[in-house]
Structure 1
Amino acid sequence: MAESILVTIFCCLPFGIVGIINASKVSSLYAQGNYDEAQRASADAKKWTIIGLCVGFVGIITYLVVYGFAAFTLLNVQ
């Protein structure tokens, strides 16, 4: 759950929210005795958290490259 929240805050909001939703299902499914469903919800939460983390990192790197190039270009204009 904590990882999904951190991904939501710092990386990618949509995928982090899906991770939070799936992570919140785990404990209630486990308490009901639906161990297979709880395991599946946990795996889904992990999957969406990792996807959100990867998309967030790609977005941050793209942002830095584009704006770094723009700043470099503006500094070299004479």
Structure 2
Amino acid sequence: MNEQISKPQSPPPNYLVFAILVTIFCCQILGIVSIVFAAQVNTKWNAGDYEGALNASKNAKLWAWVGFASAFAIVIIAFILSAFGIIAGLSLDAFDF
């Protein structure tokens, strides 16, 4: 019995826009990793590697979210450290008001 693998209807999302935005605004290194995986999605899809395209799509999304989360964590940590610095300065009368 010959079983043919049918081509799915459409390629998985490549998350290229999300990867570029993460690269520009958040974390450049992780964004570039996401861009590389996003660029592989359509190439693998057109070559007939449907599983590889799906895997590249998942990796592009994962690395874009990791880049976004790391930038968000850095902003939160910077805000907390700044708040502690202000509180410490006020408690030591370091500011002349």
TM > 0.5 between the two?
Answer: yes
2:43 is the alignment partner of 1:17: no
Segments of 5+ residues of structure 2 without an aligned counterpart are 1-15
TM-score by length of 2: 0.72
Q: Distance in 2 between matches of 1:6 and 1:61?
A: 19
Percent identity among equivalent residues?
35
Amino acid at match of 2:60: A
Which residue does the alignment assign to 2:61?
46
Three-state SS of the structure 2 residue aligned to 1:33 is: coil
Q: Distance in 2 between matches of 1:13 and 1:59?
A: 14
Which residue does the alignment assign to 2:86?
71
Amino acid at match of 2:48: G
| CA RMSD of superposed structures (Å) | 1.3
Q: CA deviation at 1:75?
A: 4.3
Q: CA deviation at 1:43?
A: 0.5
Larger radius of gyration between Structure 1 and Structure 2: 2
Segments of 5+ residues of structure 1 without an aligned counterpart are none
Which residue does the alignment assign to 2:19?
4
TM-score by length of 1: 0.87
Divergent runs of 4+, >3 A: none
